[in-house]
Structure 1
């Protein structure tokens, strides 16, 4: 399949980038060298950047049904002329950007372009962005920069004004479901449910479609929220949610380490149970080092908690839909909980429902500011309690 087949629900953007790649010779005067790819979480902006990079440097422009060695390397993040900066930290460091700039000045080794991808460029502090600014404004003749962010407003105007901005849409439920059926082999009913619950987030939809425990944790959170009556309920639910998030993150990191160790053995020609040679032990053990695992687990735990906030917001979104009698046009996310959400829509005023969405947004900011997850969720659930009227 072509490099574009994994991009979900972004046909206009894909057609635009295909035309850019196919322009006469894709020469230096025919293509912008600094791009800003914007889209909400889960829209696939990083995947689109990789697909674009693969199309730019592959001899077949990434269109062949059978991926070339070049496109496979780019999509796997191992091509020597495509550098990808991603981070599990809160911010991207200034030294990381300086290293990228040095790389960007080097001639490509085999491809017509050297491509630099920065995921989550919105995580740069202003002083770091200023280091990048000159390279974005005047790139090396052989280099293309692909920056990714949730929206153009999340990036400093000085960067935004010097790039060609591409905006991605939230994929439709049908598009996400078709992707899950094609890529994961799940049945249509499961795919449609996962797409609806994920609200256009492709990665989350894949989780819901393939991990029963993750889906069960989601159901438990929604039921717990709808059953909140006392402060003690709020405290218990907060503790359970934080524990569940830690467990999910630990399982995910364990899987990542296992895959990395398996790939390491394959690359170095080692069997599953074969002893690691002394010269390779340091690199092998670093894959599952305690500090690295702890750092990844902490970051992933916050990602899970952020997803939980989206789930909570979806309940009050459904309340607002029912209060405005818009369910036939807008639809409900949490269809399985319609009776309880209908009851909540009667117990809450329209203003109270909106206030709860704002309360969830406040909790998100506190969590992003390194607030204690347990305290943030305890305070949140206490604020979401509904007094009987």
Structure 2
């Protein structure tokens, strides 16, 4: 027997870092090793945020291109997982929507014959971020792909994609990884101590990326702890205003750190790809492309987008408080457990002060705040209003 959600040795290789998805891994492994004439050319890989849908698409692409169907050691596997294979194109965006010109470029790429591999694979992350007219441009290619092209679209659920697209794709639904599977992954892949891994997995609620953040970045975990305590101590409007201010400041600081680290990594990759050492001057012919990586407007835009992602994660953390309240009110702790175990006493007290309708109403307020936030509402005003609505 293998740990919960972990694949057998035969299904390792490119699948080694796929967490809690053994049935899907087994199915895709068989398809990659089977008759290519029986293989669907348009796929829709669905799973909640953090379930690893993009990683699943990359691993499947590697299994299709690898002579050994996903060994994880050959050049094809290593380049695909690193994002540097010439026949595997990944469209990821940190914008609110995927642009129509980006999709047209993808279509042009998809019609080219693969240069070194059996397939040209096009992976589109967050296809749900496409506007309808952009999706319509993609539709014909999804319906009738070029002979040697495979499309892999990723979205939170099939319902987030237009029916015309999902009806033309083979749908793969990913599960929410169990806490045990996520903790085991953190211990194996990042060397995290088991107790820290278990707590990070529990607080992340099945989101692998968030769990890794909590397990490896002390400040991110500290910010979450401070937020939960702040929500549980809300008593008056001034508390709400102060808590919203601290949250926005923390989110902006984390976003800036993340973007600066990303820019530094991209600059390092640029130097490596072009054969330049860390201290070498950038040749004039490459200077424009290099400077574009750290362009102020682009960095500011990416930081804004990243800040919204951090705030969205904060909304999930706040929602976990009222989820735990509802669990206690319904005597369901033995069945489903609490997320915020460290704050059990305060959550127990809150579950007595609120009635069941009050807990549900606060979860609805969090949903409203999320819609306002992603409707380009002012983050400070959104969270001030939310925290005022949460006061018992």
Query: Structure 2: how far apart are the matches of 1:361 and 1:13?
Result: 31
Q: Cα deviations across residues 79-136 of structure 1 (Å, max 9, x unaligned)? A: 1111111111111111111111111111111111111111000011111111111111
Query: Structure 1: how far apart are the matches of 2:136 and 2:328?
Result: 47
Which runs of structure 1 show a deviation greater than 6 angstroms over 4 or more consecutive aligned residues? Answer: none
Query: Structure 1: how far apart are the matches of 2:353 and 2:48?
Result: 32
Shift of 1:278: 2.4
Shift of 1:354: 0.6
**SS state at 2:16 partner:** helix
**What's 1:31 paired with?**
39
Shift of 1:273: 2.2
Q: 1:79 aligns with which of 85, 91, 95?
A: 85
Query: Structure 2: how far apart are the matches of 1:358 and 1:145?
Result: 37
**What's 2:180 paired with?**
174
Q: 1:7 aligns with which of 18, 40, 44?
A: 18
Query: Structure 2: how far apart are the matches of 1:45 and 1:278?
Result: 40
Shift of 1:285: 1.8
Shift of 1:6: 0.8
Q: Cα deviations across residues 303-350 of structure 1 (Å, max 9, x unaligned)? A: 000000000000000000011111111010000000000000000000
Question: Residues 36-115 of structure 1 correspond to what in structure 2 (within 5 A)?
Answer: 36-64=44-72, 67-115=73-121
Q: 2:355 aligns with which of 339, 349, 357?
A: 349
Indicate conservation of the 8 Å contact 2:71/2:77, yes or no: no
Taking structure 2 as the reference length, what is the TM-score of the superposition? 0.96
**SS state at 1:6 partner:** coil
**What's 1:163 paired with?**
169
Structure 2's unaligned 5+ residue stretches are: 1-11
Q: How many residues align?
A: 381
Question: Is it true that 1:202 corresponds to 2:220 in the alignment?
Answer: no
Shift of 1:213: 0.2
Q: 1:315 aligns with which of 321, 326, 333?
A: 321
**SS state at 2:90 partner:** strand
Q: 1:18 aligns with which of 11, 14, 29?
A: 29
Taking structure 1 as the reference length, what is the TM-score of the superposition? 0.96
**What's 1:281 paired with?**
287
Question: Residues 125-204 of structure 1 correspond to what in structure 2 (within 5 A)?
Answer: 125-204=131-210
**SS state at 2:38 partner:** coil
Query: Structure 2: how far apart are the matches of 1:119 and 1:268?
Result: 27
Shift of 1:164: 0.4
Query: Structure 1: how far apart are the matches of 2:277 and 2:144?
Result: 48
Question: Is it true that 1:328 corresponds to 2:339 in the alignment?
Answer: no
Question: Residues 345-384 of structure 1 correspond to what in structure 2 (within 5 A)?
Answer: 345-384=351-390
